[in-house]
Copies of this chain bind each other. A is one copy, B any other.
């Protein structure tokens, strides 16, 4: 699952006049965004996020960008600049700071507040520099101008990065909602001004490049919510992302309009909305918020529950409600549940299980599939065209997305008039140099997946995941044989244990005599070698279980000397 690029050479030494761009995450996947810029021996890091694992990465908690490329060069890092506060842009910051604590962390007010909560958990006290749109800061040879962009979290920034090699415009995640809830528009005037000056490399969000047209306004959702709240005879439960301040704001506003009180449900919802409220990003009308404990004292038609769990996460509040497993909340007929969120690919079955459970309990479930209760945070193809026409970039490098999204974004750039040879299509680890006004792929650096797994960071290799996949699909058999260390004879066992496929170890009664015979033959003369006995076990058991049970469990022969 890593993206080695064996067809690409190691990059050449960096030309003193060139800017080097090395994506360490986020190109070829949706998540763990991280890009390293290098000029004259100094490094600037943009974003440092996590990726959430897929089904074929069992037991993994998180996936980090691969820091290997910069591990020996942490002293050269001028700063980590964060575009916004989503996990896939900030989640790996504590892991990088664990390797070097004094790298300055730069971001907007809300972004830093969300990072701060993470750093506290990791007991890291970081150097922070708070910035806002319109501001320009210098980090070594990098001059960075911050521009406002609109996204599904407040206070997101695009970056104009100037070095003597040229001007790079990096959008971060963005869209172009022309009626944003907080009035903070994506700074297209800034994009236009930079475009008129001359943007040498435009790095832009590919997530929705396959989606035609324009992303609907966040504000449009309010009308839909209003209708849902108006018709709901009993309680309304709304689930969304715990960082989507504007979505929650709309729920609060509609609740007030219908005389309903709101309780936050789920630890991250309570925490993030606390931060957003303290900093003034969320406005809570007086008396609207109630404690979850007190909701049973209110008439059901005066209640809104604002919950986590919109992706069907099994331990989140909404799944537990759907499974009749939540300590405080039980669905009653007439309750309405709104999934005001996207459906992240891979979560379909989990979300459908939640919808089925809620339906069975008597709830009406409103979701993206039957009502316009969600709009994306990423610019669709139409918006991307706008930006290409405004920015008129000399070179383009699509970022943030799976391969299909990067290619689709490239096609949009070409449609707007950018020559195809000026579009640098890179994936994680692929190195792009900007030199003399031309951006080109010049090589690749090793860049794998780094798994966080319990307390273990990076120690879990693909081999362990492969073992887990086999164990999870097929189970295992362990066979223990005791060998006398003096005589070399088999003196104990074979003890056969299996998990994950046989209900009952008595199925091994058939094979035991055959195995004993094979082991005795191998141990004949008392000079059995451990490896030889292991191979005997593996071969005998493997053949039998494959033929008889048609399975291929992991076989663990254990030879103990006694």
Contact = CB atoms under 8 A, between A and B. Distances in A.
A446 to B, nearest CB: 18
Contacts of A241: none
B560 A472 contact: no
Given A356-B402, A453-B501, A495-B558, 7 more contacts: A59-B472, A359-B404, A456-B550, A467-B475, A480-B560, A482-B482, A562-B562
Contacts of A549: 454-456
A501 B497 CA distance: 20
Contacts of A360: 403
Contacts of A365: 404
B370 A210 contact: yes
Contacts of A298: none
Interface stretch (A187-195, A281-289, A345-353, A510-518): A345-353
A533 B340 CA distance: 53
B560 A495 contact: yes
A296 interface: no
A130 interface: no
A468 interface: yes
Contacts of A357: 403
Contacts of A456: 501, 549-551
A546 to B, nearest CB: 9
A561 B492 contact: yes
Contacts of A502: 459, 464
Nearest to A469: B472
Contact of A473 (B28, B352, B468, B551): B468
A493 B404 contact: no
Nearest 4 CB-CB pairings of A with B = A472-B472, A454-B550, A492-B562, A471-B471
Contacts of A370: 210
| Number of copies of this kind of chain in the complex | 2
Interface string A283-313: 0000000000000000000000000000000
A230 interface: no
Interface in A478-520: 478, 480, 482, 491-493, 495, 497, 499-503
B468 A500 contact: yes
The residue among A454, A472, A503 with the most chain B CB atoms within 10 A of its own CB is A472
A328 interface: no
13 contacts: A58-B473, A356-B402, A359-B403, A359-B407, A455-B550, A456-B501, A460-B501, A461-B503, A464-B500, A472-B472, A476-B476, A480-B560, A482-B560
A185 interface: no
Nearest to A343: B348
A548 interface: yes
A482 B492 contact: yes
The residue among A370, A480, A550 with the most chain B CB atoms within 10 A of its own CB is A480
Interface in A51-92: 54-55, 58-59
A558 B463 contact: no
A474 to B, nearest CB: 6
Contacts of A476: 471, 476, 499
The residue among A355, A357, A369, A404 with the most chain B CB atoms within 10 A of its own CB is A404
Contact of A459 (B356, B461, B503): B503
Given A349-B54, A551-B453, A560-B495, A468 B478 contact: no
A556 interface: yes
A554 interface: yes
Nearest to A463: B503
B503 A556 contact: no
A491 B558 contact: no
Contacts of A460: 501, 503
A475 B357 CA distance: 30
B561 A59 contact: no
B468 A475 contact: yes
A535 to B, nearest CB: 16
Contacts of A28: 356
Given A455-B550, A468-B473, A480-B480, A210 B499 contact: no
A349 B467 contact: no
A468 B472 CA distance: 4
Nearest to A496: B558
A144 B493 CA distance: 61
Nearest to A455: B550
Nearest to A56: B349
Contacts of A468: 471-473, 475, 500-501
A59 B356 contact: no
Contacts of A500: 59, 464, 467-468, 471
Nearest to A481: B560
The residue among A59, A402, A493, A549 with the most chain B CB atoms within 10 A of its own CB is A59
A499 B471 contact: yes
Contacts of A560: 480, 482, 492-493, 495, 560
A561 B492 CA distance: 6
A356 B404 contact: yes
A245 to B, nearest CB: 28
